[in-house]
Structure 1
């Protein structure tokens, strides 16, 4: 079922128009940070693609931080608010790692966020939870989808960029509390299962659609991730893997 829902999302022709992605600023990086030397045209293309990929991820971390803060208002108790705060803190940790790398590539991190924030803002606008349990599912699923994207993308990157991804991935377990709360709630009240399952599928579909918009707008990033494969086949395989992992995660929640 998850896979079939996913395939309906791939290359949507009737979806709402994607948000505009602005031109990347060429403002100089913070003082004391110098761009890395470029050895060849090929290396320049790869470096530019990696910088843009990191910029997309940076904007995602930025958006995730503020959305977690907003959605934490639905938390029913102090313990839950603290757990959400820990998740938000980890997003800022990821942001700082990526911002340092973007500056090293000669780009302004703030401009990078501005370039892609409309995509993430639109995603969060269409996936705003209405209940605490929807917020928990979104937190757990969103954290997992981000981790899956990092994992899948890492395989296409050179060793130094893989190391950056690994350092970000080193702290992606702060959403476990959400899994425990949702699983316990569904076990105690089975009527929650159906609506939360549909909610989880919607989160996946919207995430895939918005990711495709970014890839369509950034050919360098798409070429970096899917080099050596037929583009349609490579993209489909990429998102199929993410959908499969999403299905496993939904099962962990007692959904699916």
Structure 2
């Protein structure tokens, strides 16, 4: 069965939100690369940043096709998303990769859930711009390596991961407050009305992800 057709404003709002997330992720990763302990890791994060800006361009181009300026679609979400990144500045490489692993992944899980309410080509576009598994695997391997070198790091990074999730949820509330209503309608449309089930699935995936990297939930 095909997905119901969401309001046009909802598609624009979601694409604007995702586009801004990609743009800010590019800026963050490019800046955080300076904390890499060697050139190999610096290049790896640079490649991740390049993927983010390429994804932003795809989303911006799609908004243009829909007759919307990307700046207009993103404007309502600048303050809450920027506040999240400003409040979660990594202090070292281990915190950089934990933020990429935990923060980006829970966002991807959420977007994967709500993409089902979209029609093509927007559904596939949102799914396509989610982070590639190889980047998550790279970040998880770096976390495990840091813990292997110093087991005490596990406690600090676990606390950092919990803070990332807490900040993300706090700013999600601000995103909802900034929303004009169409995006909220999309999120709760159809099967997505089971909001409690949605958050259970997000929590389960997050818990498994933490364990896989050697972190405590």
Superposition TM-score, scaled by structure 2 size: 0.88
For 1:182, which of 130, 143, 156 is the aligned residue?
A: 143
For 1:241, which of 194, 201, 210 is the aligned residue?
A: 201
Q: After superposition, give the CA deviation of every residue in 1:146-177 in whole Å (9 maximum; x if it has no partner).
A: 32122111122224321212322374532422
* Alignment RMSD: 2.1
- Is the deviation greater in 217-226 or in 234-243? 234-243
Distance 1:98 1:159, change over 3 A: same
For 1:99 and 1:217, the matched residues in 2 are separated by 20
**Partner residue in 2 for 1:72:** 33
- The answer as to 2:45 corresponding to 1:84 is yes
Structure with greater proportional helix content: 2
For 1:58, which of 19, 30, 42 is the aligned residue?
A: 19
- Is the deviation greater in 209-218 or in 67-76? 209-218
- The answer as to 2:188 corresponding to 1:226 is yes
User: What SS does structure 2 have at the residue aligned with 1:190?
Assistant: coil
Contact kept, 8 Å, 1:156 with 1:226, in 2: the verdict is: no
Where do residues 41-52 of structure 1 align in structure 2 (5 Å cutoff)? 46-52=7-13
Superposition TM-score, scaled by structure 1 size: 0.76
Q: Give 1:104 shift.
A: 1.7
Distance 1:111 1:66, change over 3 A: same
Q: Number of residue pairs matched? A: 212
Gaps of 5+ in 2: none
Gaps of 5+ in 1: 1-41
